[in-house]
Structure 1
Amino acid sequence: MKFQGKVAVITGGSSGIGKAVAIELVKRGANVVISGRREQALVEAAKEMDPTGAHVAYVAGDISDPQIAERLIGEALSRFGRIDTLVNSAGIFIGKSFTDFTEEDFESILSINVVGFFQVTQRALTEMLKAGSGHIVNITASGGAEQSLKVMPAVLTALTKGGLNAATKSLAIEYADKGIRVNAVAPGVIKTPMHSVETHDFLAKLHPLGRMGEVQDIVDAIVYLESAQFVTGEILHVDGGQNAGQW
């Protein structure tokens, strides 16, 4: 599918899934605006995506801060004139027993996984409503959010990413008659810098297919959802079979 001239805002775009999605969309002709906390990482990612700088912009900062969220959406509008797609890729995972979570853990996960989503999505939706079209893709989670794993307790993932799965369906229904689609990709454990190499063998065993996911698996899912004009409210599980049941 061609994305020539489309404009996508991608949170968490300096590394991992968000960066890979941005690279793919730029290759297909889109303009992208990426966000992340580390400005130098954003600079390097933007150069990798488009050395000319013509098709990539970035905003550094914490998207749970309303001013940063406002800047991110404003950058897309000032540089490229509109917003066609929002990919909410920013996220954090902390796996530990429920009674071991600290107040700092709770605040960090809630801030990144939920508050940032709220601040950016509300602003992006406002612009999409003006245009009468748009697509939002939330990167949520499968294992830990919908299919709990005894060997990897992560209740705050269930609380936040599971909540985003529910919010995806709610927003899809609310805005279906306004020309705006809302979908989610629920990954299993994906090979990104979040997971050290020494953990890969253990993490691979958490999937019925017996391997971790690749970033490209998620990119392909997002490209599909972008092209699937009759699909909204979908939670697309790209998780090696985790969501299918106990194994």
Structure 2
Amino acid sequence: MSTPAKVVIVTGASQGIGAAIVLAFRKLGYAIVATSRSIKPSDDPDVLTVAGDIGCPATAQRVVSEGVARFGRIDTLVNNAGIYIGRPFTEHSTSGYNAVVNANVAGFFHITQLAIAQMQQQSSGHVVSVTASIADTAYSGVYSALAALTKGGINAATKSLAIEYARKGIRVNAVAPGIIRSPMHAAEAHAVLGDLNPLGHIGEMNDIAEAVLFLDAAPFITGEILHVDGGQSAGR
């Protein structure tokens, strides 16, 4: 097995933006600890896959402990896992609410807590979370209350954690995507969705992966919410 430059955990890594982030880091020679409910084993010796529900504390524990056992350290955590349920606020079910909170909030909390504890032992590390531009820029007819509650909460926690751990060598940032061409959106809806931002088209998954790489390589940036949304957050 090769000696990797860095070790990166990526949640929600089996498809979409998460898979793009894994590929982007691997191109740089970094080792990956990739996790999702449905992730399959990898033939790449520098990619460790851990299947499970990231909202479950036991899954988070396995991801971090197996990553450290395999690669010796954790340099970066990418909190990408999350779900969006678009419906009017009064029509959300309790089960739907619980699913969103489990993936978006519990999935962030448990693994971030464990990863930062590991990073403290190393006196260095970086946490970057993939949130959502719609969490802080609402649009009429687009149902974003649960996104604001969960992903918006992670944006706020990002700033708090950045200050809490700034003197301990740990940076904390977030990337807030707009509408991205991914399995989350049907292809026939792309043109209509593209009209929701000033550039007039939706983004690509690699746009988010490159933003994550940028923040990871920027040692003087912490507490930043980087909007990658075609100008959506700036207004219309």
Q: Name the TM-score, length of structure 2 as normaliser.
A: 0.97
Deviation at 1:212, TM superposition (A): 0.5
- Equivalent residue for 1:84? 75
Deviation at 1:151, TM superposition (A): 2.0
Number of aligned residues: 234
Q: Is the 8 A contact 2:5 2:30 kept in 1?
A: yes
Q: Does 1:217 align with 2:207?
A: yes
CA deviation vs aligned residue, 1:1-49 (integer Å, no higher than 9, x gap): xx9520000000101111111111111110001000114xx33xx3xxx
Q: 8 Å contact 1:91–1:112 — kept in the other structure? A: yes
- Quote the Cα distance in structure 2 between the aligned partners of 1:224 and 1:66: 29
Whole-angstrom CA distance in 1 between matches of 2:151 and 2:57: 21
CA displacement 1:34-77 (0-9 Å, x = unmatched): 000114xx33xx3xxxx4x2110011010111111100001110
Match in the other structure for 1:226: 216
**Matches of 1:204 and 1:217 in 2, distance apart?**
15
Deviation digits for residues 170-209 of structure 1 (CA, Å, limit 9, x no counterpart): 0000000000000000000111111111111121111111
Structure-1 separation of matches of 2:66 and 2:182: 27
Residue of structure 2 aligned with 1:107, choices 67, 73, 98: 98
After the TM superposition, which residues 131-146 of structure 1 pair with which residues of structure 2 at under 5 Å, given as runs? 131-143=122-134, 145-146=135-136
Distance 1:18 1:74 in 2: 21
Answering whether residue 179 of structure 2 is matched by residue 189 of structure 1, we say: yes
**In structure 1, how many angstroms separate the alpha carbons of the residues matched to 2:170 and 2:160?**
12
Aligned partner of 1:155 among 145, 158, 169: 145
Residue pairs, 1:1-247, within 5 angstroms: 4-39=4-39, 42-43=40-41, 46=42, 51=43, 53-143=44-134, 145-245=135-235, 247=236
Q: Note the residue ranges of structure 2 that are not aligned, 5 or more in a row.
A: none
Letter in 2 for 1:10: V
What letter corresponds to residue 180 of structure 2 in structure 1? I
Aligned residues of 1:97 and 1:153 also touching (Cα < 8 A): yes
Identity of aligned residues (%): 51
Contact 2:55 2:110 in 1 (8 A): yes
For 1:79 and 1:64, locate their aligned partners in 2 and report how far apart those are by CA, in whole Å. 22
SS in 2 for 1:193: coil
Aligned counterparts of 1:217 and 1:172: Cα–Cα separation in 2: 24
CA contact 1:12–1:90 (8 Å) conserved in 2: yes
CA contact (8 A) 2:4 2:46 kept: no
For 1:4 and 1:54, the matched residues in 2 are separated by: 10
Cα distance in 2 for residues equivalent to 1:191 and 1:85? 25
Contact 2:24 2:210 in 1 (8 A): no
